[in-house]
């Protein structure tokens, strides 16, 4: 950022923190805190290993220093301000899921936000309906950028290490599923058993819709499938689809399909696209609800499950006003904000303050006057 742009953004953040406080996590005194500042030297990106004993102390620190980003530890420590991780003495951690649109889809910002919200809704359903977590132990936060964080605060999971958390995220993402278990005989098909069967049927329908020669070429490339079996298989798909799911694996071509990378990718789409390293990391720092995201100027918004469906980040996470601000756009850009769509061309433009903060934080514009 140029000096005028940096000053503009810092002033807006200062105004926000003078009137708003952070949402303080439980057991504040056991959390480590980290901050990134607007004018931090390039080699010192984060000031961390900090602790606060009460909310007023934390609020005063943020109001006085006005950070660009505010993080706290998902872990609980005996001595959170200790300078090394070993000296902190880990005492448990919340179970965290991070869904980031960058890892799901690329495109216009509004479209990415809509897509990641769908994944978050899917994950919430899996946590409550399939894994049995109580809704009152689940906290949601819009990250202020391109996704959502889900915090499971149930004390039963606090002591879990990385391996236990890996099992949970593998389930969420559909990693390492055994076809024999998924399609085998058992009780009513729910959860992954149903998703697996549906995904396999969808994949078979996709193959049936291909040109027979194209389908045969694909099948012949699978391990253990002969050219003859590949050529004959497309004609058998309708009959296979009429069978009970548990009978499908009797066909050797279906078994080969179930082990193919593209089918595994379809299974990932059937699950929720959570960031696996975040969930397995028992010492993670995560954005603080109520803080501002220095890369967007938007608020990290805490949400209850009951409010999630109606939440619109392009309206509800915007905290700045609509007074006109002059900026210089670095490139053409179109975005939605506060219910309006803005199509901007490279060069000077007058935009609402909220949009100016967003553009400057994303390094897409510089302030030229009127700030």
pTM, two decimals, is: 0.89
Strand partners, 140: 150, 303
HEC per residue, 227-272: HHHHHHHHHHHHHHHCCCHHHHHHCHHHHHHHCCHHHHHHHHHHCC
The pLDDT, as a whole number, for residue 189 is 73
Query: Looking at 198, 236, 275, 281, which residue is catalytic?
Result: 275
Euclidean distance between CA atoms 25 and 151, whole angstroms: 11
The pLDDT, as a whole number, for residue 33 is 98
Pick from 168, 172, 140: which is nearest to 273 by CA?
172
Pick from 317, 306, 302: which is nearest to 22 by CA?
302
- Kindly report the number of other CB atoms within 10 A of residue 279's CB atom: 24
Pick from 317, 326, 320: which is nearest to 365 by CA?
326
Residue 276: pLDDT above 70?
Answer: yes
Assigned token pair, 159: 């002591």
The answer to whether 98 is a known catalytic residue is yes
Percent of the chain whose pLDDT exceeds 70: 97
Residue 278: pLDDT above 90?
Answer: yes
Q: Read off the pLDDT of residues 30-87 as tens digits, 9 standing for 90 and up.
A: 999 999 998 755 555 789 999 999 999 999 999 999 999 999 999 999 999 999 999 9
| 308: confidence class by pLDDT, cuts 50, 70, 90 | very high
The pLDDT, as a whole number, for residue 123 is 96
Query: Looking at 54, 87, 100, 244, which residue is catalytic?
Result: 100
The pLDDT, as a whole number, for residue 143 is 96
Q: Read off the pLDDT of residues 319-332 as tens digits, 9 standing for 90 and up.
A: 999 999 999 999 99
Q: How many Cα atoms occupy the beta-carbon half-sphere of 326 within 13 Å?
A: 5
Percent of the chain whose pLDDT exceeds 90: 84
- For the chain, the straight-line distance linking the first and the last C-alpha, in angstroms and rounded, comes to 15
3-state DSSP: the chain helix, strand, coil percent, rounded to 5? 45, 20, 35
The answer to whether 307 is a known catalytic residue is no
Euclidean distance between CA atoms 224 and 207, whole angstroms: 18
324-369 shares the fold of 17-174+273-318: no
Domain boundaries, the chain: 17-174+273-318, 179-270, 324-369
Query: Looking at 98, 236, 247, 304, which residue is catalytic?
Result: 98
The pLDDT, as a whole number, for residue 369 is 64
Whether residue 216 contacts residue 231, with contact meaning beta carbons closer than 8 Å, is answered with yes
Residue 244: pLDDT above 90?
Answer: no
Domain covering 17-174+273-318, topology:
DNA primase, PRIM domain (3.90.920)
Q: Read off the pLDDT of residues 180-223 as tens digits, 9 standing for 90 and up.
A: 889 887 656 788 999 999 999 999 999 999 999 999 999 999 99
Residue 371: pLDDT above 50?
Answer: no
Q: Read off the pLDDT of residues 2-15 as tens digits, 9 standing for 90 and up.
A: 899 999 999 999 99
The pLDDT, as a whole number, for residue 234 is 92
The stretch 263-289 carries a mean pLDDT of 93
Residue 370: pLDDT above 60?
Answer: no
Euclidean distance between CA atoms 70 and 289, whole angstroms: 9
The pLDDT, as a whole number, for residue 246 is 84
The pLDDT, as a whole number, for residue 105 is 87
To the nearest whole number, what is the mean pLDDT of the chain? Answer: 92
The stretch 120-144 carries a mean pLDDT of 95
Domain covering 324-369, topology:
Ribosomal Protein L9; domain 1 (3.40.5)
The residues, any chain, with a CB within 8 Å of residue 85's CB and separated by 6 or more, are 283
The stretch 163-181 carries a mean pLDDT of 92
The answer to whether 102 is a known catalytic residue is no
């Amino acid at each position: 950022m140029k000096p005028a742009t940096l000053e503009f953004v810092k002033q807006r953040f200062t105004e926000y923190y003078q009137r708003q406080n952070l949402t303080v996590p439980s057991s504040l005194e056991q959390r480590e805190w980290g901050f990134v500042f607007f004018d931090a030297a390039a080699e010192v990106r984060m000031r961390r290993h900090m602790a606060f004993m009460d909310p007023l102390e934390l609020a005063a620190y943020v109001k006085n220093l006005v950070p660009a980003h505010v993080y706290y530890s998902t872990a609980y420590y005996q001595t959170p301000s200790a300078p090394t991780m070993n000296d902190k003495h880990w005492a448990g951690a919340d179970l965290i899921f991070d869904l980031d649109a960058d890892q799901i889809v690329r495109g216009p910002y509004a479209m990415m936000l809509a897509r990641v919200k769908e994944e978050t809704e899917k994950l919430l359903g899996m946590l409550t309906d399939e894994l049995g977590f109580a809704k009152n132990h689940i906290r949601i936060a819009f990250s202020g950028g391109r996704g959502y964080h889900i915090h499971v605060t149930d004390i039963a999971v606090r002591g879990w290490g990385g391996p236990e958390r890996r099992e949970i995220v593998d389930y969420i993402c559909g990693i390492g599923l055994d076809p024999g278990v998924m399609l085998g005989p058992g009780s009513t098909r729910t959860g992954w058993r149903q998703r697996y069967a549906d995904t396999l049927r969808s994949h078979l329908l996709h193959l049936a819709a291909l040109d027979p020669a194209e389908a045969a070429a694909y099948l012949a490339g699978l391990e253990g499938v002969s050219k003859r079996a590949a050529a004959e298989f497309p004609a058998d798909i309708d009959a296979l689809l009429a069978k009970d799911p548990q009978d499908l694996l009797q066909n050797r071509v279906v078994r080969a399909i179930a082990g193919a990378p593209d089918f595994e990718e379809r299974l990932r789409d059937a699950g929720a696209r959570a960031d696996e390293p975040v969930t397995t990391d028992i010492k993670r720092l995560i954005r603080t609800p109520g803080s501002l995201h220095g890369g967007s100027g938007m608020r990290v918004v805490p949400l209850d499950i009951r409010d999630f469906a109606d939440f619109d980040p392009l309206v509800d996470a915007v905290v700045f006003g609509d007074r006109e601000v002059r900026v210089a756009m670095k490139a053409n850009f179109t975005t939605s904000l506060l219910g309006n769509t803005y199509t901007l061309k490279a060069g000077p433009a007058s935009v609402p303050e909220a949009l100016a903060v967003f553009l400057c934080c994303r390094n897409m514009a510089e302030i030229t006057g009127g700030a």
